[in-house]
Amino acid sequence: MKTPSTWLVVAGARPNFVKIAPLMKAIRRYNDHDALSGPAVRPVLVHTGQHYDRNLSSVFFEELDIPRPDVNLGVGSGGHGQQTGMVMIALEKFISAERPDLVIVVGDVNSTLAAALVSVKLAIPVAHIEAGLRSFDRTMPEEINRVLTDHVSDYLFTPCEDADRNLLREGIARERIFPVGNILADSVAMILPKTSQSAAAPFVSGIARRCGTEGRYALLTLHRPSNVDRKEVLEGLITTISDLSARVPVIFPVHPRTVKQIRTFGLEEHLAWLDEEPLAARSKTGGRIFAVPAMGYLDFIAVLRGADLVFTDSGGVQEESALLGVPCITLRDRTEWTVTVDCGSNILAGQDAESIRTAFSSALSRPHRQDPRRPALWDGSAAERIVGALKDAAR
Ligand code: UD1
């Protein structure tokens, strides 16, 4: 029997966990059905520990049936240099001992770049899932992570055509680019059948009914440093959306980084906190933004699916809303997911109050699309295409 190839899969933060779920499943399926004599791939899962809170980490492993990581590097929070450096130091030791045949990294978080850099320096081939995306905004830490990871990777798995074009423009050889589609579409397809089990969805509908909006509500997520690290910006966004909440209540699952900033800047009074009893009907300033702790994937997708629209600065939510046909208002000036703007689900509104109000009126008047126009290859089979391409390349 041939010795299986060892594939190290590295994940560190919430958006990574969601995307490795279909990959791990596709590897399992390949070993069970397609490998001719015994398992052809030995997956080794590394959790860097960048995210460690239950609702940013373990809940995703449970709900998406991701195997327990083989190792957790436990790097935790810190500055960019510190966090990236800690992953590199710990992972270099692990990879040197393990000597995998391939390292697979996902997305654009600090753990992604750290793992790619360590691997390439140890002469281990690197595969990057979600390659080629560009916001062309170098102030975003993720943009730096994306560009550098792509340029040291051997296999670039792209989710959409503009990503292919970006890579070619940067001089990356066509043979290294594999247009496989969006793996997040696979993740959404995995979780959708389970959303009927969500306790959050009926809770949120109940809040919306109590508000007298016939169960209609909007959703809000915010965590980018550019939106939450300066008081005037965060306050501006929250007060603008609080004004708009007169028309539909807004459910706000809050990332721990944002909770910290809201408390530091003393902005709590603009939010009705739903983890406190008794449930508030409005915030102290009269708005109807209802804050809840960050949600797991099952609850988040169930609540997003039922929303009239979503305000967000997350990359993943722009993709998920496109997949679910929910109008999305992106609170950034630029996006790496221009394909979602092109397919008509996403409006880039930035941080300006007037632009957000205009986008809100336009999104609220759009019919919720049962059958959204999806970009090519956002069909739930990206992970299989990735595993297939890697196996073909190894022959
Ligand atoms: C990271 C990614 C971002 C991604 C986001 C999803 C980078 C540069 N950023 O941002 O691309 O969209 O994850 O959530 O990699 N914290 C906790 N508990 C945790 C993790 C973090 O409380 O489990 C708090 C800590 O105060 C920490 C802060 O959140 O300092 C920021 O965490 P970090 O991982 O540095 O970046 P995110 O903002 O989560």
The distance of Cα 247 from the centroid of its chain, to the nearest Å, equals 28
Say which DSSP state 101 is in.
S
Report d(CA 44, CA 98) in Å as an integer: 9
> What's the whole-number average pLDDT of the chain?
95
**Dist. CA 102 → ligand 1 center (Å):** 26
Report d(CA 355, CA 302) in Å as an integer: 28
The answer to whether 217 and 251 are in contact (CB under 8 A) is: yes
pLDDT beyond 70 at 289: yes
Q: For residue 204, give Cα distances in angstroms to 199, 210, 216, 269, 277.
A: 9, 10, 10, 20, 16
- Our mutation pick for probing the ligand 1 site, out of 19, 57, 255, 257, counting the most ligand atoms within 8 A of Cβ, is 257
The predicted-structure confidence for 88-113, as pLDDT tens digits, reads as follows: 999 999 999 999 999 999 999 999 99
Conformation bin of residue 133: beta by default, left when phi > 0, alpha when psi is -120 to 50 = beta
Q: What is the pLDDT of residue 38?
A: 61
The predicted-structure confidence for 259-288, as pLDDT tens digits, reads as follows: 999 999 999 999 999 877 778 889 999 999
pLDDT beyond 60 at 358: yes
Residues 6+ apart with CB under 8 A from 163: 131, 132, 133, 134, 179
**Dist. CA 93 → ligand 1 center (Å):** 24
The predicted-structure confidence for 208-220, as pLDDT tens digits, reads as follows: 999 998 889 999 9
Atom of ligand 1 nearest to the CA of 50: 34
Q: What is the pLDDT of residue 77?
A: 97
Task: Supply angle C-alpha 363, 221, 259, rounded to 5.
Answer: 150
- Our mutation pick for probing the ligand 1 site, out of 10, 47, 51, counting the most ligand atoms within 8 A of Cβ, is 51
Catalytic residue chosen out of the listed positions 47, 128, 223, 270:
223
Residue type, 260: K
The answer to whether 130 and 109 are in contact (CB under 8 A) is: no
Q: What is the pLDDT of residue 395?
A: 75
Among the listed residues 110, 115, 113, 107, the one whose alpha carbon sits nearest the alpha carbon of residue 159: 107
Q: What is the pLDDT of residue 3?
A: 75
Report d(CA 345, CA 341) in Å as an integer: 6
> Does residue 223 have an active-site annotation?
yes
pLDDT beyond 60 at 1: no
- Match 């800047």 to its residue by tokens: 265
Q: What is the pLDDT of residue 132?
A: 98
Q: Which letter, b or e, does each residue of 203-242 get, where b requires 16 or more Cβ atoms within 10 Å of its Cβ?
A: bbeebbeebebebbbbbbbbbbebbbeeeebbebbbbbbb
The distance of Cα 63 from the centroid of its chain, to the nearest Å, equals 15
Atom of ligand 1 nearest to the CA of 52: 23
306: number of Cβ within 10 Å: 23
> Cβ-count burial of 354 within 10 angstroms (0-12 exposed, 13-18 middle, 19+ buried)?
exposed
The predicted-structure confidence for 163-199, as pLDDT tens digits, reads as follows: 999 999 999 999 999 999 999 999 999 999 999 999 9
DSSP track, 332-345:
SS--S-HHHHHTTS
* Strand ranges across the sheet with 346-348: 272-273, 289-293, 250-254, 218-221, 309-312, 328-330, 346-348
- Return the percentage of the chain with pLDDT > 90, whole number: 90
Q: Is the CB of 224 under 6 A from ligand 1?
A: no
Q: What is the pLDDT of residue 285?
A: 95
Mean pLDDT for the stretch of residues 36-63: 92
Report d(CA 116, CA 144) in Å as an integer: 13
pLDDT tier at 230 (50, 70, 90 boundaries)? very high
pLDDT tier at 156 (50, 70, 90 boundaries)? very high
pLDDT tier at 250 (50, 70, 90 boundaries)? very high
Q: What is the pLDDT of residue 370?
A: 65
**Dist. CA 318 → ligand 1 center (Å):** 18
The answer to whether 57 and 51 are in contact (CB under 8 A) is: yes
